Amino acid sequence: MNRAKCPECGFVGWADAECCKKCGAPVTAGSENLAVPMQPAYAHNYQQPSHAYNYQTQYAGYQPEASQRLAMTSLVSGILNIVFLGIFVVTTIAGIVISVVALKKINRDPRHYGGKSLAVGGLIMNIVSLVSLIPILIIAAIAIPNLMASRRAANEGAAIVSLRKFHSAEATHYAMQRKYGTLTDLMQKGLINSDLASGERSGYRFTIEILDDRGDGWPGFTVVAVPREYDSTGRRSFFVDHTGVIRAADSSGLAATKYDAPLNMDDDSPMRSSSRSRTQQQPQAPISEY
């Protein structure tokens, strides 16, 4: 609404009034009637302090710097897992978890957490390293048992060769000294090397027992080979005595005996019982008597 000023008394009234309410003079539109906008009754001529304006102008667009440490951590973990092909499964899983947590925080509070592209890159690299680990694990699951089996077979073969050397050395020692010798005796006579004399070789432990009477009035000896770590360095235990027959059995790490089957013979073979009976009923003379 506009107001008009009376030309006679100067009273300000409504612009559409025909006469002044104070003096009754007619009010007509003219150069002296100044139309002024009507102000609300509660309006105040308030001017905002200049210092408040300057403060708002200076700090209205300020935002704290977003932290990228979590996103950077996920990226670094992804790079390391890619370099090491995800061999360390725990670190790969931890990298994926850190990347997911970083992305959630960035999406929830972008004002305080930044580096979304870094977190995405870290997540992708961690997932790739985990996926690349799967074929490696499959190959390892196939190769490791085969390697262990090859190692056991090689150790068992070496143990058999060592028993043959012990038998030959004992035969030579009996021919020279008229008695069988211990590990130390055989080494002192130069019949075995220091490696065999130590009692351990190729994952097996060797024990020599000298018999003053093997049951027929003649001296004898036994050599037993036992795997140092059962199922790791070997499974079968071996036995040889003055007869020269090498016997083998899977005794779960215990020593083989003269009652076990000869080498390369099944446990259920009928020759096992016959060979055992010959060993018990027909004692043989010392090696030097052959």
For 191-227, the pLDDT digits (tens) are 999 889 999 999 999 999 999 888 888 899 999 999 9
Nearest C-alpha neighbor of 17 from the set 32, 33, 31? 33
Claim to verify: residue 137 and residue 184 sit in the same structural domain: no
Claim to verify: residue 36 and residue 88 sit in the same structural domain: no
Residue 118 lies in a domain: yes
Claim to verify: residue 179 and residue 255 sit in the same structural domain: yes
Residue 244 has pLDDT above 70, yes or no: yes
What mean pLDDT comes out for the span 73-94?
83
Q: Mean pLDDT highest for which of 88-92, 125-129, 232-236?
A: 232-236
Instruction: Indicate the residue type of 196.
Output: L
pLDDT at position 6: 78
Claim to verify: residue 107 and residue 73 sit in the same structural domain: yes
Alpha helices, DSSP H, located in 6-115: 50-59, 69-83, 89-108
pLDDT at position 183: 92
Residue 268 has pLDDT above 60, yes or no: no
Nearest C-alpha neighbor of 180 from the set 223, 224, 219? 219
Residue 60 lies in a domain: no
* CB neighbourhood size of 34 (10 A): 12
Claim to verify: residue 187 and residue 137 sit in the same structural domain: no
CB 37 within 8 A of CB 2: yes
Residue matched to tokens 């008229």: 178
Residue 58 lies in a domain: no
SS3 content of the chain, % helix, strand, coil (to 5): 45, 15, 40
Token pair of 269, please?
């073979």
**How many structural domains is the chain composed of?**
3
Claim to verify: residue 240 and residue 129 sit in the same structural domain: no
Which regions of the chain does DSSP assign to beta strands (E)? 2-5, 12-14, 36-37, 200-201, 204-211, 220-227, 237-241, 247-249
Claim to verify: residue 22 and residue 95 sit in the same structural domain: no
What mean pLDDT comes out for the span 11-37?
63
User: In whole numbers, what is the pLDDT of the chain averaged over residues?
Assistant: 78
What mean pLDDT comes out for the span 9-14?
72
Domain that holds residue 171: 159-289
What mean pLDDT comes out for the span 172-193?
92
Residue 150 lies in a domain: no
Partners of residue 248 on adjacent β-strands? 238
Last residue of a domain, one of 145, 177, 204: 145
Claim to verify: residue 179 and residue 235 sit in the same structural domain: yes
Say if residue 167 is exposed, middle or buried (CB neighbours under 10 Å; 0-12, 13-18, 19+).
Answer: buried
Claim to verify: residue 80 and residue 121 sit in the same structural domain: yes
Q: For residue range 46-66, what is the model confidence (pLDDT) as tens digits?
A: 455 554 445 444 444 555 677
Helix (H) or strand (E) holding 279: helix 270-281
Claim to verify: residue 189 and residue 263 sit in the same structural domain: yes
Token pair of 289, please?
């008597």
Claim to verify: residue 139 and residue 199 sit in the same structural domain: no
Residue 21 has pLDDT above 50, yes or no: yes
Global pTM value: 0.53
Nearest C-alpha neighbor of 244 from the set 282, 284, 210? 284
**Residues with Cβ < 8 Å from 1, sequence gap 6 or more?**
14, 15, 38
Say if residue 147 is exposed, middle or buried (CB neighbours under 10 Å; 0-12, 13-18, 19+).
Answer: exposed
CB 237 within 8 A of CB 254: yes
pLDDT at position 77: 86
Residue 154 lies in a domain: no
Claim to verify: residue 103 and residue 141 sit in the same structural domain: yes
Residue 50 lies in a domain: no
Residue 289 has pLDDT above 80, yes or no: no
Residue 153 lies in a domain: no
Provide the terminal-to-terminal Cα distance of the chain, rounded to the nearest Å: 143
CB 158 within 8 A of CB 202: yes
Partners of residue 184 on adjacent β-strands? none
Task: Give the full edge-to-edge strand order of the sheet including 220-227.
Answer: 200-201, 204-211, 220-227, 237-241, 247-249
Residue 195 lies in a domain: yes
